[in-house]
Structure 1
């Protein structure tokens, strides 16, 4: 998927990720119990993060018009309007693009100002950023939950991501940084450059986000992954 919605309104199944848990367990049974515990239960509260409000606030604070932001990001003005109005919760690729264009950390749009030396996120406190949003007849087919909001000066953004089977038109994404993905449940397809890889539970992949890539559900049931985005900012 691209850094955001292309001008013609096409969407793909997903676009963002990372996190490593290897070496943290005494055996495979312990690892299995841990992975099942974090992936089998949804947060008790569906805490929606209003990215649109934060985008609008920073845009007005800098005296920028929607056209100014559109020119900096190559996103359609209509898409930005939908984000600011709350009609559309943007995919992570769009958030990355907005953050870079506005010289902000990606985490600003997810958790606001980051000001804590460390963060602990309890299972019932995970923030749901998006869940299977639809926009003008296009189904996004994924939801993601922030696992490390408000950590000061962080360069990594970890997420728990659920990918749903999707038949939407697929396009590759490119953006700054690196990504690590660990498959928790289900089957995942990764298209990286000219290569296509199928990953199963327990498999992982690490790549540069500057390489055109697409991550999607690779089967007929949902796929859960632990994903981490790394950025120099």
Structure 2
């Protein structure tokens, strides 16, 4: 599956226009160039995870809202095998969206992290809270200089404003159920 850069670009353009922002204003808020915003919105480039975080913060939406269509139903059911899978935000991580997050205060997803440590992975931080439970494998979560190794059955909760990142140092995929809230 290819990274959905065209759809993400359209969603970012929609959100920017809906909020009455010019591409120059969004670029200034996110700390990127106006030409980068233009290229992302036209689907010419795949934004990095760091750029997506900056854009989500600047647009005051959860990052997963870039991957969804509008959802206005009060009840939403995701059947087994029907969840939207987002790959290549980080090459070793895939996210299976288990609930709508666009316009919602909470995102719920299944995260699969392939073995391998990427030391260049930046720390991220954003408003809200996160919690997760490891279904299989092990995951190392770094929070402001502290490392926590979580294995099957372990869970974690933290304030998302703390700089954080995660790695799978094991030999098998680490699979977790994760929830994030937004302060937006």
Calculate the TM-score normalised by the size of structure 2. Answer: 0.81
Match runs of 1:98-137 below 5 Å: 98-104=55-61, 106=63, 108-129=65-86, 131-132=87-88
Decide whether the 8 Å contact of 1:148 with 1:158 is kept in 2: yes
Q: What are the ranges of 5 or more consecutive residues in structure 1 without an aligned counterpart? A: 1-44, 134-138
Q: Does 1:223 align with 2:181?
A: no
Q: Distance in 2 between matches of 1:231 and 1:64?
A: 24
Does the C-alpha gap of structure 1 residues 107 and 192 become closer, same or farther in structure 2, counting only changes over 3 Å? closer
Question: Does 2:129 align with 1:211?
Answer: no
SS in 2 for 1:220: coil
Q: Hey, what's the Cα distance between the residues in 2 that align with 1:69 and 1:154? A: 22
Q: Does 1:69 align with 2:20?
A: no
| 1:181 paired to 2:132 | yes
Matched residues in 1 for 2:101 and 2:164: separation?
Answer: 28
User: C-alpha offsets along residues 84-128 of structure 1, whole Å, 9 cap, x if unaligned?
Assistant: 31531653x644532332244555423232311111001221011
Asked if 1 retains the 8 angstrom alpha-carbon contact of 2:29 and 2:58, the reply is: yes
Structure with higher RCO (Cα < 8 A, 6+ apart)? 1
Q: Would the aligned equivalents of 1:54 and 1:109 in 2 still touch at CA under 8 Å?
A: yes
Given the alignment, which residue of 151, 155, 158 partners 2:108? 158
Q: Secondary structure at the match of 2:149?
A: strand
RMSD: 2.9
Cα distance between partner residues in 1 of 2:105 and 2:40: 25
Retained in 1: the 8 A contact 2:140–2:169?
yes
Task: Indicate the structure with greater strand content.
Answer: 2
Q: TM-score, normalised by structure 1?
A: 0.66
Aligned equivalents of 2:104 and 2:16: distance in 1?
A: 23
Q: Which has the larger radius of gyration?
A: 1
Matched length: 180
